[in-house]
Amino acid sequence: MSKRMSFLCAATMLVALCMTPAASRGDDRDEGRRADPAVVAARQKIFGLENVDARSGRVREDRVIFSWITNASFAASVRGRIILLDTFVSRLEVMPGRTPLVIKDLVDARPEALFVGHGHGDHADNAAYISKSTGAVIYASPETCDNMQLDAARIFGTGTSVNCVGVTSRGSVPGAQLVRIGQLEPVATITAFRHLHSTRAPPQDTSFPPVVINSPDAAGKCAAVPCNVADPRDASMFPAGISLTTVLDLRTSRAGPGGPISIYYHFKLRGQNRFTFAWHNTSGALKEGCASPNNDSAGNPTQPGQDAQGCFGPAVGQRLAQIMESLRPTDVEIGSVVSLGSGINGERDIVTYNRRIAPKVFIPNHVTVLAVESSSLEWKVGYLKQQNAMGIPDSERPELMWLVDPNDYLRPLVFDPKDDRWRKPRDGDRDDDDRDDDR
């Protein structure tokens, strides 16, 4: 057993989800079989013409490809296995508009699984609909799965359900369990655990000069730069169309405690330099162990270990930090750069996640909700200033692949797992699941 796994077993309870991949993989792997033209068209639109076979609809199996859908949502092809990371689409309309896709594109892409980071609507909207329409399994917290079942019954009729797998035990404390998800075997292993949703009221961090992104006042002015404000030309360039919700309401139920309960996912490919990527759609206050309050209507916490202000305490934050470090090396981090607490500590929390995860490449997200549409580059300025304020050396900063809406929607981000950049030492400290050929 490796030192890394020894730590994990000592610090957490390791839970294995030994499940087979979803029955509906939808990628028509039978040699010579022509795929549904709608599947081919959707995958070519999402992953690029050059990456999708025009006959079979198969996405190339020698690459990992991410395609930004909006906010924190991505379509991903992991060596040809199609998944969605969140399912929300900003300004989802009946016809493509500012966002160049419609809900049919996500259904026609035929993902085999949907990984939902947490249950707020700007992440989990559309998930129940896509799952029921494709057979894709949903992975989320058990509490968020409750909402998925409510959504399925509302959209498709009483008694309808979806295949939603609860990640970690109901009511567990962040970092108390590591879960192994077998959905992408034998291509990749997935490790998941609860972490912290960002919070509007973190303690003021006095260890660095404050870097705050200000919201505009009533006159549209900001006290400082950068400012979370939309480009005034955006509306004329991308006039609003007909919202899908006027035709089909795919919004997620807000009932119960599932909203802010957040899951962190870490993917590790087998062979091919053991390419790894992490995805998290929110970034909490690791230093203090604080997250968004998850209280009932009377103001009482619904999550064990969390107080009414949302804090679990520094020990929980430290445990989460240690888990992130134990999963290193991480090649690519796809993480929320926007925090509810940005008015207090700027983008400190995402920089803290960066420091613990230590990715070679960082792809920021959550820049079309809370961060208003067309404000992405303002948040980039804030992120760079935050790194400076926290004294992060240039040598320890990840390569940025910053996404700007709407320019970067459906622009394939292609990674070659065989690239020497991802090469890792081969020694006696490797986990058993890494002992495979370099396919």
Q: For the segment 89-104, what is each residue's pLDDT rounded down to a tens digit?
A: 999 999 999 999 999 9
Task: Give all domains of the chain, ordered by start, each with its CATH number.
Answer: 3-297+314-420 (3.60.15.10)
| Residues 141 and 129 sit within 8 Å (Cβ to Cβ) | no
In 31-173, DSSP assigns E strands to: 64-70, 73-78, 81-85, 113-115, 137-140, 164-166
Tokens of 189: 């292993």
Give the DSSP H or E segment for 7: helix 3-11
| Cα(91)–Cα(290) distance, integer angstroms | 31
106: closest CA among 26, 211, 30? 26
- Give CA separation, 234 vs 241, 280, 371, 382, in Å: 14, 28, 14, 21
**In this predicted structure, what is the pLDDT of residue 386?**
95
Chain segment 216-240, per-residue pLDDT in tens: 777 777 777 678 888 889 999 999 9
**pLDDT (tens digit per residue) in 24-35:** 454 455 555 788
Contact 229, 372 (CB under 8 A): yes
Where do the H-state alpha helices sit in 282-347?
Answer: 314-326, 342-345
Give the predicted TM-score (pTM) of the model: 0.92
Token pair of 420 as six digits = 């020497």
| Closest to 377 in 3D by CA, of 390, 364, 388 | 364
- Per-residue pLDDT, averaged over 109-115, amounts to 98
At 115 the three-state DSSP class reads strand
The amino acid that residue 428 corresponds to is: G
Q: What is the pLDDT of residues 23-73, one digit of tens each?
A: 345 445 555 578 899 999 999 999 999 999 999 999 999 999 999 999 999
Q: Give the pLDDT score at 15.
A: 56
Residue 84: pLDDT over 50: yes
